[in-house]
Structure 1
C-alpha cells in the first residue's frame, strides 16, 4: 500500500480507483529535502487581491512525490542577496507534474513581495525538496476536521484536493476563517469541491463584511459555540489546523476546552504568515569566548565558531550554504545529521524524537558543546 493509500485509509471498494495513484507514485521521483532543483513557473493565478498561486514544473519535467501538507523551501536572489523561505505546497500529490505554492503578500515580506512582483510564466527559481510532518499520513482517520485561517488554507487544500482526485468521498469538515469574504482563499473551488463530494462540508466565518453587501455567512470569529453548531461531532474527528500562530493557539485552546483529545490535534509547525524570522538570541554565558571546529563530511569544508552562536548562523558567516527558512526551530528545513560531537538544541517542534535518536539536529537552534562533524 503506497503512502497516499495509507493516508486516506480507504474502504476496500476504493482499491480499483487507487490503482492509478499507485502507478503515478511509482513513476514520481524522490526529491530529497536537502536537494535543490530548478523550478520553472508555468502559471500565476490571482486568488484574492493579495494572494497568488504560483504553479511550477521541475526543469527536467519529472513528476514529484510528496505528501499533502508538506512544504518546500524556495530560494531567490532579492536585491543581490540570497533569500530562502518555506511555503506549503497547495497542489495535491495526485497532480505530480505541477507543484504550486500559494503566497500572501506580506507588508515588508522580502520573498512574498518579490514573488508577487517578479514571478511570471517562464521565470525560474531554485527550491529544496518537500519536507514537513504536517500530513495525515501518520494519522489516518475516518472523520477529519480541517481548521484554517488566511493563507493557512494551503496545506489543507492540498489534502482536500487529493481526496477529491482519488474519488474517496471522505468525511471532511473544512472550517476557514478570513478577514472579509473577499479574503477567502479558494472560496469558489472549495464550494465546487463540496458539490462533487457530498461528505465534504465547508464553512466560512469572516471578521467583517468588507465590500460584499450580499454576504450571508457568519461574521465574527470562530468560537466553541459556532464550532459545535457546525460540527456537532468535532470531538470524534482528527483535527488539522494551520494559520497564523495566534490563530492556531486560540484554536488549540478552544478544542481543549471543548473536550477534544489533544492526541488527535495536529498543527503546522511554522508560522506561514511570518516575514523574516530572526535568529534565536544567543544566551549570556561564560562560554562566549570558547570556540569549536565544525567539519562538513561531504564537502570537506571546515570553519570555527563561538559557542554562543547557532551552528546555522556561524555557517552563514563562514559562507557555507545550508537550507534554512524559519530560523526558529519550527520548520525543520535545516535538519542535519551530527556524525561526531554534541550540541545543545532548543527547538520548537520542527524535529521528531525518532530523528533526534538517529542523530539529526536543527542547526538553527543548536549550539556546539564540542567540535562537530556534520553530514553536509
Structure 2
C-alpha cells in the first residue's frame, strides 16, 4: 500500500516571485508596506518597502522616491534616494539618517514599524551612471568610475555599486566614503564584501576620528587632493559621481576645478533635499543647476505683464507674483520660506493646496492627476493665472 504524498503548503512569498508580475504604478496604488527595518549604524536605518499586491519596481540606480507622509495631521513630502538595486525589483529600500530636530527622519525612526504603510511617488531623477543618453553611459567616456560620498549621501552610489555587483560586471570602480568614525561607515560590511568579490572594485573609507571602542587605522581626515591622488591616482581619467552634504559636494567641486579636472565628467546630486528650502538663490544655483534661476532672471527683464497677489494663509504673508514667474521663485525673493528641493516639478516637495485661484503648471511627474483634480499644485513649476490663496 503506497503512502499518500505529504501535503505541502504554498510559500506565502511565491506569488511575489511569479514571472508575469506587473510594474508598480503609484498612479494606481501609491501605498508601500514596510517589510523590514535594518539598523545600519546607531543613527541610520534602512526601510525595505514593497507594494501590497505583488509587482515589480523599475528604476535607474541613483534615482529617488518622494514620500507623502502625514505627520501631526499635516502632509509632508520628502525625497529619499533609493539605496537598493533595480536588479532586485521585488522590493525597494531607502536608508535614512536621523537628523537632530528633523521632523521627517525622526518620524521614520521613531514611529514607522514593520507593517506600516508609506505613500510614495516615483522613482525619479537623472543622477545615475546608467540612464540612457548620459555621458557616463558612453563607453569611451566612462571606462572607469570614482564614487565620492559623505555620510548618508552614500545611498545613490550604493545603488549603482550594488547594481554592477549583482550583474557580475567587474567595472573599475574606486568608492571613497567619508565618515565621522568607523562606527558611522554605512554599508561597511557589504562594501568590503564587494571589494573581496570583485578585484576591480576598491573601497576606501576615510574617517575623521576613532570610534569609542574601535581605533581607526585607515585613511584619516577629510577628503583632499593628496588623499585623492593616493586612492585614485588616475582620477582624471574617471567619471566622477559625488553625493553628500552640500559643504562636502562644494569642497569636492572646487578641489576638482582647481586640479583642472574636466567638469563635464563630474556629476553631483543633492543629498539633503530639505536643505534647499533654506538656500539662497546663489546656493540653489550650485545645487540644482542655474537653468531655473536664469529663467527667472529672463522673466524679470521681459516686458511688463500681469501681476497677481499670492496669499500664504498659514504664514500670514501676501506677496506679488508676475504671471511669467513661478510662485516658488516669487516667494523666495519675498523672503517666504517654503519646502522645496528639485525646483523642476519632479520631487513633489513643494506640493501645496490652492484654496483659491488658478495656475499654469507644467510639472515633471511630481504630482498625481488626482491631486491636481483636488486643487493641489507644485509651486516650483506653477505660474499664476489669477490671484491665489495657498494653504501654506
TM superposition score normalised by structure 1: 0.72
CA distance 1:366–1:26, shift in 2 (3 Å): same
Describe the SS at the equivalent of 1:117: helix
C-alpha separation in 1, matches of 2:70 and 2:346: 22
Q: What is the CA–CA distance in structure 1 between the aligned matches of 2:91 and 2:339, rounded to whole Å? A: 23
Inter-CA distance 131–325: structure 2 relative to 1 (3 Å threshold): farther
1:290 counterpart = 2:308: yes
Matched, 1:163 2:156: no
Q: 1:97 aligns with which of 78, 81, 90?
A: 90
Q: Which shows bigger deviation, 326-335 or 221-230? A: 326-335
Note the 1:186-201 alignment, pairs <5 A.
186-201=187-202
8 A contact 1:280–1:365 mirrored in 2: no
Are 2:366 and 1:365 equivalent residues in the alignment? no
Q: Which residue of 2 aligns with 1:332?
A: 346
Structure 2 distance, partners of 1:335, 1:50, is 24
2:146 and 2:216 map into 1 onto residues whose CA distance is: 24
**1:366 CA displacement:** 4.6
Per-residue Cα deviation, 1:64-120 (whole angstroms, up to 9, x for no partner): 100000000011111111111000000000010110000000011111000000111
Structure 2: 5+ residue stretches without partners? 1-17, 282-295, 311-318, 331-337, 351-357, 366-376, 388-392
Alpha-carbon distance in structure 1 between the residues aligned to 2:266 and 2:279: 28
Cα distance in structure 2, aligned partners of 1:250 and 1:26 = 47
Determine the C-alpha separation between the residues in 2 that align with 1:327 and 1:99: 22
CA distance in 2, matches of 1:246, 1:28: 41
- The Cα shift of 1:192 comes to 0.8
2-side partners of 1:252 and 1:199: how far apart?
25
Residues 324-333 or 195-204, more deviating: 324-333
Structure 1: how far apart are the matches of 2:31 and 2:58? 16
| CA distance, structure 2, for counterparts of residue 267 and residue 129 of structure 1 | 20
In structure 1, the residue matched to 2:333 is: none
Shift of 1:31: 3.9
Q: Is the 8 A contact 1:243 1:273 kept in 2?
A: no
Higher RCO, 1 or 2 (CA under 8 Å, sep at least 6)? 1
Measured on the aligned residues, the alpha-carbon RMSD in Å equals 3.8
Aligned equivalents of 2:30, 2:183: Cα separation in 1:
35
Contact (CA 8 Å) 2:97, 2:105: kept in 1 or not?
yes
Aligned residue-pair number: 309
Judge conservation of contact 2:83–2:94 (CA < 8 Å) in 1.
yes
Aligned position for 2:154:
153
Change (3 A) 1:273 1:181: farther
SS in 1 for 2:154: helix
What is the aligned partner in structure 2 of residue 61 from structure 1?
Answer: 54
Matched ranges for 1:1-376 at <5 A: 29=23, 31=25, 37-137=30-130, 138=134, 139-140=136-137, 141-268=142-269, 270-272=270-272, 274=274, 277-278=277-278, 290-291=308-309, 307=321, 310-311=326-327, 326-327=340-341, 329=343, 332-334=346-348, 363-366=378-381, 368=383, 370=385
Name the larger-Rg structure: 2
- The alpha-carbon distance between structure 1 residues 30 and 59, as it changes in their structure 2 partners (threshold 3 A), is closer
CA shift, 1:170, in A, is 0.9
Query: Does the C-alpha gap of structure 1 residues 36 and 251 become closer, same or farther in structure 2, counting only changes over 3 Å?
Result: farther
TM-score (norm 2): 0.69
State how far apart, in whole Å, the 1-side matches of 2:28 and 2:246 are. Answer: 28
- How far is 1:332 from its partner? 3.1
Q: In 1, Cα distance between the equivalents of 2:57 and 2:339?
A: 21
Q: Secondary structure at the match of 2:75?
A: strand
Q: What is the distance in 2 between the residues matched to 1:190 and 1:166?
A: 15
- Taking structure 1 as reference, are residues 177 and 311 closer, same or farther at Cα in structure 2, changes over 3 Å only? same
Q: How far did residue 255 of structure 1 move?
A: 1.5
In 1: Cα distance, 2:228 partner to 2:342 partner: 32
1:358 corresponding residue in structure 2: none
Q: Is the 8 A contact 1:28 1:96 kept in 2?
A: no
Query: Runs in 1 of length 4+ with deviation above 4 angstroms?
Result: 24-28, 278-283, 285-289, 340-343, 369-372
Distance 1:178 1:331 in 2: 32
